[in-house]
Amino acid sequence: MKLAFIVDPLAQLKAYKDSSVAMMRAAQARGHEVFAILRDDLRLRDGAVRARAAHLSINADEHAWYRETEALDADLREFDAVLMRQDPPFDFEYVAATWMLERAQQQGARIYNDPRAIRDHSEKLAITEFPQFTAPTLVARAAEDLNAFIDEFGEVVLKPLDGMGGAGVFRVRHDDPNRYAIIEAVGQMGTRSVMAQRYIPEIANGDKRILVVAGEVMPYSLARIPRAGESRGNLAAGGRGEARPLSERDRAIGEALAPMLWQRGLLIVGLDVIGDYLTEVNVTSPTCMVEIQQQTGFNVAERVIAALERRSD
C-alpha cells in the first residue's frame, strides 16, 4: 500500500515518542510505502485535491529518523489511505483542511479519521453524548453559571474547549481567592465557552488514555500520573506515563463507544478516563502508542496498519 500521513513538519516530530512516527515505522516494516504531507501543501484545484508529498525511508535513529527519497505531486486518490494526524490548534485553517479532505473523500480518496467526523466532533464536548459515563459537567460562557457550578460542587476543573496537552486547565476550589480571575482567564473575559467538570480526585492515580482502533478497544491504557504539586496528568504538563491493563470500567466505556465511533469513520480514537469517568474523546491525533509498546510489548501502531490493510482488500 501507499500510505500518506498529514503531519506537522517532520523536523518537529519527536520520534522517540510520536505515535505518527510509530505508525510510519509499522507501515514500512509491513512492506508499505510511506509518504508525508504538510497541511500547507494541500490544495484544491478545479475540484481535485492534490498535495506535495515526500516519500520517506524510516529508520530506528531517534534523531535522524527519516530520509526523503523522492518528492512528488499527487492526487490524494493515488494513496491507499491518507491519515490526518496534525496536532491542534483546531483553528480555521484546520477546518479548511477538513473541507478539502472531505472533497477528496467524496471523489474516492480514503481519509482517516473521517474529515467530517473530525470537524463535527469536539474532543471536549463529545463526552456530553455519553452522560452515563461522565462526572457532572457544564459548558457555559457566563461567569455566573460557572461560579454557580463551582459553588454547587466545591471543587471543579475548568478547561478551554480548544486546548490540548493540559494547556489552560485549572483546578478551582470554591474558596479559591483567584476563582473569578481564573474564570476570566479561561473564558477570555466571557468571550469563549468553558467546560467545567466536577473535580475527580482519582486523578492522583492517573488520567488514563484508552486507545480504540477500527472499533477495537486496545487492552492497555496509559495512565498519565501528575507530578508532585500538579493536578494535570498530561505528559506535556510533566505527567509520568504508566501502562496498565484496562479495568472492567475502562473496558465497559470503551466497548460502549467503540462501535459507534468506528461507524462514524474514526479509525483512531483516544478515550480519556479518570477514575470511573470519561473526560475526553480525542480524534485529531491521539497519542501514547509508543509508551504502551515500550512498557507492555503490545504494538498499537501495528494494529492501525493492519486495520488499513483490511480496509484496502
Set 50, 124, 179, 198: catalytic member: 124
How many alpha carbons fall within 13 Å on the CB side of residue 44? Answer: 12
Catalytic residue among 123, 250, 280, 302: 280
- Rounded Cα distance between 265 and 280, Å, is 18
The residues that bridge with 7 in the sheet, in sequence order, are 38
Going by C-alpha positions, the residue among 308, 235, 296, 261 that lies closest to residue 18 is 235
The verdict on whether 159 is a catalytic residue reads: yes
Catalytic residue (choose from 232, 234, 299, 303): 232
The catalytic position among 224, 291, 299, 303 is 224
Give me the catalytic one of 113, 179, 198, 282: 282
Catalytic option among 102, 123, 272, 302:
272
Distance CA 302, CA 218 (A): 12
Strands 216-225 and 207-213: antiparallel
- Residue 232 annotated among the catalytic residues of the structure: yes
- Judged on CB neighbours under 10 Å (0-12, 13-18, 19+), 177 is exposed
Q: Which positions ≥6 away from 42 have C-beta within 8 Å? A: 6, 49, 50, 51, 97, 100, 101
Q: Clarify whether 68 is annotated catalytic.
A: no
Residues 84 and 93: beta-carbon distance below 8 Å: no
Q: Which position among 25, 159, 179, 208 bears the catalytic label?
A: 159
**224 assigned to active site:** yes
Distance CA(64)–CA(126), nearest Å, equals: 38
Q: What Å distances lie between residue 119 and 13, 208, 212, 258, CA to CA?
A: 23, 24, 19, 19
Question: Is 124 designated active site?
Answer: yes
| Cα–Cα–Cα angle for 136, 137, 140, rounded to 5 degrees | 145
Residue 143: its H or E element? helix 143-153
From 85, 198, 208, 209, the catalytic residue: 209
Cell of 193: 465557552
Report whether 286 contacts 269 (CB < 8 A): yes
Which residues are known to be catalytic?
A: 124, 159, 209, 224, 232, 272, 280, 282
